[in-house]
Chains A and B, each alone.
Chain A
Amino acid sequence: MSTISFADVTKQFGDTTAIEKLSLHVADGEFLVLLGPSGCGKSTALRMLAGLEDPTEGTISIGDRVVNDIDARNRDVAMVFQSYALYPHMTVAKNIESPLIGHRSETNDKQSRQEQVEFVAARLGLGDLLHRKPGQLSGGQRQRVALARAIVRRPAVFCMDEPLSNLDASLRAQTRSELVELHRSLGTTFVYVTHDQVEAMTMATSIAVINNGKLQQSGDPRTIYERPANEFVARFIGSPPMNLAAGTATSDGAGSWSVSSSGGTVALDQRWIGLTEGLSVTIGVRPEHLSIADAGLAATVTTAEWLGHEQILYLSAGDDQFAVRAVDAGELVEAGRSVRLSAAPDDIHLFDSTTGQRLAEVEA
């Protein structure tokens, strides 16, 4: 019922293209996170879905209804704004009641509205604050009021535009898990915009990574993390980001391939197809997949950060910089030490250096 689809949607502001040919399908009940750096167009995509911006081209559908020409107030969409956009002159109760007044129906008399407001307020722990005004609330409480106002009417689609960015770190972590719980209990389709990969990874059932107005990759968090479609996604997701180094593909003539870079040579497994002799590639390994070993790439530790449960090492090898996440911190590694790095062949990612796209693999 509340599936969402963007079909070739483009949005231009004058000469600037905010979103270019976005095609994306969201299944009913999905928690989709639109993820990307600031200014990438993700908020524009959300605002087009909510009806606050009109697409320049393409169609947007909610359920089986094309909503391009349907006004925002008739789209059955609710939104939590980054600023919360609470009405400062109304009490918390009035704020939450607003969508019920705006979408008044015959079954929706004053008494039932009040009951719904009280129910949602209790659900979000706002019961004692109903008669306060937003100015008298803390940031976290305001955020909850904004959430309550959005869910009180049970909309078909629930949009959120960076709703956690004004909260402090601990409150943010707590609210993340509450949002997941809320999504689970409501079963409504959520579309959530953020630039924070932690929010995306922890809450999403599906992530769409956007950069420069273009969809880079969409899929579940695991796929995005484990099989990034291009160098941008590889670098954007993960902290510290994936190690990337330029190299050249070489064959031993017997069907085995390796990549030689300034730091040394790395052997590849058999799954990569479409490699050609001398192809410029970017080799990628996640910090947790690099380990200090007896043999491998020679590197020198430049900085070592100890985080208690793990150690993050920054190393240089030839012209390249690497980060290593060492979980087994029985013995701490110190800066200045020379080590050798190795990675298992199936933990290696390969991208075409010219296009930035992931090279084709044999399906596992």
Chain B
Amino acid sequence: MKSSRARQALAGYGLLAPALIVFTTFSFYPLWRVIWLGLHEQNRTGTRQRWVGVDQYTDVLTGEEFRDGLWITAQFVLLTVPIGVAMGILLAVAANRRLRGIKAFQVIFSSTIASSTAVTAVVFFVLLEPSIGYLSNPWIFDLLDPDRAIFAVALTGVWQNLGLTFIITLAGLQAVPDDLLEAARLDGFGPVRTFVRVTLPMITPTLLFLSVALTVFGLQAFAQIDVLTGGGPAGATETLVYKIFSSQEPRQLGEGSVMSVGLFLVTGAVATLQFWLLERRVHYAN
């Protein structure tokens, strides 16, 4: 009896092993290592560490650098997530009908998912280039204006995620039972009222997932910023991730690690908050 239990346990751990190895190597160990680095100060060449303890965390997380980065990151998230979700819904609703040739539009709308962020960023760099870009203008999209550069960066972010948002929203729309929409028609609801009162509540689980995913993407956005502005002008688009990326010299390693842990905590907190907030308004079908 005992030996069979032991054998079962062994088999269980055996099956867990591959995932455990991968996670340990690429997630748990790096996470631990970052936390550890945050507790130390490095010399100029990175050959020696000195224990500084929690002080470094307190200093960095309450410092101006972190606060600035967090504020710029928040702007990027607030600009990309609501507009991204809204655009996704708009496109998905437009493409969710039984029309000849609609598949072509569905493919076009989802295509951004297949383009790499770096490539997208380069394309937008040309479009937004201050002297020749079609989209460049002094009112909204101006890469040279510290107050407006973030809009141009956010535009690229929205475009990049549009394919994913579209596909997921379309799947959500197609999962709404036909007879509910028919019942709404017989109840006298027009298209707008049907959408607001029936369709939208039915796809809130999808939208919840999307807003969490887009927020996390927003918090981690990097390539657009690197290609379009390099954090400029005058640090106006230096998000947290960009600041972490910039602290690569051994001397800055401790500070960068603390900011990484800070970003990790912020991401976790925001996701938890979103789930908590939205779940109260989410209607899961029975």
Residues of A within 8 A of B283 (CB): 88-89
Measured CB to CB, the closest approach of chain B to A255, in angstroms, equals 59
Known: A98-B187, A99-B187, A102-B193. A52 touches B180 (CB 8 A): no
Of chain A, the residue at the smallest CB distance from B283 is A89
Q: Is A50 an interface residue (CB 8 A)?
A: yes
Q: Is the CB of A83 within 8 A of B188?
A: no
Q: Is the CB of B180 within 8 A of A87?
A: yes
The contact string, 1 if C-beta is below 8 Å from chain B, for chain A 96-120, is 0011011110000000000000000
Q: How many residues of B contact A (CB 8 A)?
A: 21
Complex interface residues of chain B between 162 and 208 (CB less than 8 A to chain A): 177, 179-180, 182-190, 193, 197-198, 201-202
Q: Is A144 an interface residue (CB 8 A)?
A: no
Measured CB to CB, the closest approach of chain B to A139, in angstroms, equals 12
Residues of A within 8 A of B286 (CB): 88, 134-135
The contact string, 1 if C-beta is below 8 Å from chain A, for chain B 262-286, is 0000000000000000000001111
Q: Is the CB of B182 within 8 A of A73?
A: no
Q: Is the CB of A72 within 8 A of B183?
A: no
Report the bound CA distance from A104 to B193 in whole Å.
12
Q: Is the CB of A89 within 8 A of B183?
A: no
Measured CB to CB, the closest approach of chain A to B76, in angstroms, equals 32
Q: Is the CB of A73 within 8 A of B187?
A: yes
Q: Is the CB of B179 within 8 A of A83?
A: yes
Measured CB to CB, the closest approach of chain B to A131, in angstroms, equals 15
Complex interface residues of chain A between 21 and 67 (CB less than 8 A to chain B): 50-52
Q: Is the CB of B182 within 8 A of A85?
A: yes
Q: Is the CB of B183 within 8 A of A73?
A: no
Q: Is the CB of A89 within 8 A of B202?
A: yes
Q: Is the CB of B186 within 8 A of A77?
A: yes
Q: Is the CB of B187 within 8 A of A102?
A: yes
Report the bound CA distance from A353 to B190 in whole Å.
53
Residue with the greatest number of chain B CB neighbours at <10 A, chosen from A77, A83, A88, A99: A88
Q: Is the CB of A81 within 8 A of B179?
A: yes
Q: Is the CB of A87 within 8 A of B182?
A: no
Report the bound CA distance from A293 to B189 in whole Å.
65
Known: A85-B177, A87-B198. A72 touches B285 (CB 8 A): no
Measured CB to CB, the closest approach of chain A to B280, in angstroms, equals 12
Residues of B within 8 A of A72 (CB): 182, 185-186
Q: Is A78 an interface residue (CB 8 A)?
A: yes
Residues of A within 8 A of B188 (CB): 73-74, 99, 101-104
Q: Is the CB of B187 within 8 A of A149?
A: yes
Report the bound CA distance from A161 to B128 in whole Å.
58
Measured CB to CB, the closest approach of chain B to A311, in angstroms, equals 44
Residues of A within 8 A of B182 (CB): 52, 72, 79, 81, 85
9 residue pairs from A and B, CB less than 8 Å apart: A50-B186, A51-B186, A71-B185, A73-B186, A73-B187, A79-B183, A87-B197, A89-B201, A99-B186
Ranked nearest first, the 3 interchain pairs of A and B with the lowest CB-CB distance are A102-B188, A89-B283, A135-B286
